Chains A and B, each alone.
Chain A
Amino acid sequence: MLLGILGMNSLDCTPATNSLIRSEADSQRTLYPYVTGTSVVGIKYKDGILLAADMGGSYGSTLRYKSVERLKPVGKHSLIGASGEISDFQEIMRYLDDLILSDNMWDDGNSLGPKEVHNYLTRVMYNRRNKFNPLWNSLVLGGVKNGQKYLGTVNMIGVHYEDNHVATGFGNHLALPLLRDEWHENLTFEEGVILLEKCMRVLLYRDRSAVNKLQVLFSLCGIHTSRLLGNCCTV
């Protein structure tokens, strides 16, 4: 099975020119995403992490679901945001629930921080890609542990990195330039929310899969994760 394919990977993939696998097991592999979420945007601010995503679940070009929570807390220290296939995100949440449960069962006073969870997810995504059965998601993982802020991302083929600001999907094209221009080390919570809101507004204008209902999560230094749900209606 010699592979000479090198293509660009994004949620809007182009067809391969020759098929990569032939077997009856094809019906067991993920070929296309069905119900998808669009961009997730995340930033570090002075006291922690802010994540924003809209609450839409698209079924192709139909805006099928309008109350999908694509941002969730993980354990005591982390937040996860997912774009891409919603059912794969739900499976990732099951993996993470098991992970956090095992961590808690040690009962040793230690708990998995965002860096560890990000590493775990990276390995999961990469291994699924190796088996040609990817979890069709781009994930943002952020959090604070022991005063240390962490924000990272991993996509369906296992490409991962951490930075002060990350975005998935269309957010890479529309939100990241805004963040690179206006982000700075000492953003207050209010400034962070305003910046994220600006990004989500631009995404609403220009991303056809975006909806006008947002979810924003924040993670504070020294305090467990909290959530803030907001309705954003535009002109």
Chain B
Amino acid sequence: MTKQQANWSPYDNNGGTCVAIAGTDYCVIAADTRMSSGYNILTRDYSKIIQLVDTSVLASSGFQADVRALQKVLAAKHLQYQYQHNKQMSCPAMAQLLSNTLYYKRFFPYYAFNVLGGLDREGKGCVFTYDAVGSYERVGYSSQGSGSTLITPFLDNQLKSPGPLLLPARDAVTPLSESEAIDLVKTCFASATERDIYTGDKLEILILNASGTRVEYMELRKD
């Protein structure tokens, strides 16, 4: 009798796409609200975005149970930080914390593909993009998740970000205005929804700027 082996996987891909764009004094973070498993749609109205701090918003796609656990761990660590330092974490600080949290589970990773967006201490927009084990980079814009292969080339074309190999390093934030960036994001998702089966239903957009946080929604195709 051959040894019985485990026939379940601890991971699942619940799909979805996340995008963030940094501007000179704002940051736009967006994600669709569809949750899938295989060829099934589980629900059409699940948010992948969480506002951890006034100035930091995390959007994550991938395996939903890991995403939720990661969100809770970060929120708890932020609470402790506030007790110990008597102030809220800055976005770059949260970026480092997220990286460390992900690497902590390097040998049983959080299957979460993250984009952290927010405002740095100077009020400028910042976007940090991650892989599943915590490797991260500050960029002017980013896309993660099932539709990222469709969206990233389009953003590269539209935002004309200076190349990462340039010296001296140039500022990565886009010169677009806030409303132009929001329209760009809506266009990205409308297109990604056409060709990616895991993206659709509804788009949730968070806009961070000096006056606070705003939410916008847009309907996407439901097929």
**Residues on A facing B (Cβ under 8 Å):** 1-3, 5-10, 13-16, 19-21, 26, 29, 31-32, 122, 126, 129-130, 132, 134, 156-163, 172-173
Contacts and interface: CB of A to CB of B under 8 A. Distances in A.
A27 to B, nearest CB: 10
A161 B10 contact: no
Contact of B6 (A10, A21, A158, A172): A21
Contacts of B9: 5-9, 13, 16, 157
B202 to A, nearest CB: 13
Secondary structure at the B interface, as helix, strand, loop or mixed, is loop
A2 B43 CA distance: 31
B107 A29 contact: no
B46 interface: yes
Contact of B5 (A8, A15, A129, A159): A15
Contacts of A172: 40, 42
27 contacts: A2-B107, A3-B108, A5-B11, A6-B9, A7-B11, A8-B12, A9-B8, A13-B8, A15-B7, A16-B8, A19-B3, A21-B6, A26-B4, A31-B4, A31-B5, A32-B4, A126-B69, A132-B10, A159-B37, A159-B64, A160-B64, A160-B65, A161-B42, A163-B43, A172-B40, A172-B42, A173-B40
Secondary structure at the A interface, as helix, strand, loop or mixed, is loop
Contact of A6 (B11, B43, B45): B11
A159 B42 contact: yes
The 5 closest A-B pairs by CB, nearest first: A158-B65, A7-B9, A13-B7, A19-B5, A8-B38
A157 B37 contact: no
B14 interface: yes
Contact of A32 (B3, B7, B35, B109): B7
Nearest to B222: A180
A29 B6 contact: yes
Given A8-B37, A160-B68, 14 more contacts: A3-B109, A7-B12, A9-B37, A13-B8, A15-B5, A16-B9, A19-B5, A26-B4, A126-B65, A132-B10, A156-B8, A157-B10, A159-B65, A161-B64
Interface of B: 3-14, 35, 37-38, 40, 42-43, 45-46, 63-65, 68-69, 107-109, 111
Contacts of B111: 6
Contact of B35 (A1, A29, A132, A161): A161
A19 B65 CA distance: 23
Q: Which of A10, A16, A158, A159 has the most CB of B within 10 A?
A: A159
Contacts of B107: 1-2
Contacts of B12: 6-9, 157, 159
Contacts of B38: 8, 10
Contacts of A156: 8
Q: Which of B42, B46, B64 has the most CB of A within 10 A?
A: B42
